[in-house]
Amino acid sequence: MIHNQIADFLEETLQEALIDGVLSDDDARAGVILQGPLQGDPDPDAARISVTIHENDPDVVYKSGTSGMNDAWEDEVAEIECGGSITMKRRFTVKARCLLVDTAESLTDARRIAATVRSRIEAALINANFNGLSDESGEFVSKGVLSDSIKGEMIQAGGPGSYDYHIKFRFQVETTKGVTP
């Protein structure tokens, strides 16, 4: 399924942008990047900065999460071409949590760290090159993250000595598949 290829590609892209391509002593280096919810493995305190990748938006589906984004975010048809192809808007969410509880950053440093993580995620998504990404059925990514479809937010929680930032990006890529009658 094309969803899996896109999610795998996003995981690799974010891994490079937030862990592998970042110096080990960088205080904005992520601790973990994975698909789906964290579910305690690793513990959010141990991960410190965790990034998760989701199809659609789990906060809308499960009516949970810390977010101001609550409108529908499901896949939908973008267009159907005469001659037999369909283009779909495939929608995803990347969530990050900067749980800065054991490192006692000042508010200024905590904001800088969270803003850096947010900036790195946004740059990785916008600059991601999906060329050649396709599945076994022939469905392929025809447009990467569209700048007018990306939405982001950052919410601060917690207080002095235990700042907790929630970062969220919603975006879409378009996929195309030839359809035979």
**pLDDT tens-digit profile of 16-59?**
999 999 999 999 999 999 999 888 778 877 889 999 999 988 87
pLDDT value of residue 15: 98
- Residue 79: CB atoms within 10 A of its CB come to 11
- Residue 51 CA from chain centroid, whole number: 7
Enumerate residues 6+ apart whose C-beta is below 8 A from 130: 6, 9, 141, 144, 173
pTM over 0.85: yes
Q: What is the pLDDT of residues 119-177, one digit of tens each?
A: 999 999 999 999 999 999 999 999 999 767 899 999 998 877 789 999 999 999 999 99
Question: For the domain 2-178, what is the CATH superfamily, name and number?
Answer: Phage minor tail protein U (3.30.70.1700)
Binned at pLDDT 50, 70 and 90, residue 79 comes out as confident
Q: Is the pLDDT of residue 81 over 90?
A: no
Please report how many Cα atoms fall inside a 13 Å half-sphere around the Cα of residue 68, on the Cβ side: 7
Tokens of 162: 């235990």
Q: How high does pLDDT run on average in the chain?
A: 88
- Phi (first) and psi of residue 171, to 5 degrees: -160, 170
pLDDT value of residue 121: 98
The full set of domain ranges for the chain reads 2-178
Enumerate residues 6+ apart whose C-beta is below 8 A from 101: 45, 158, 161, 162, 163, 164
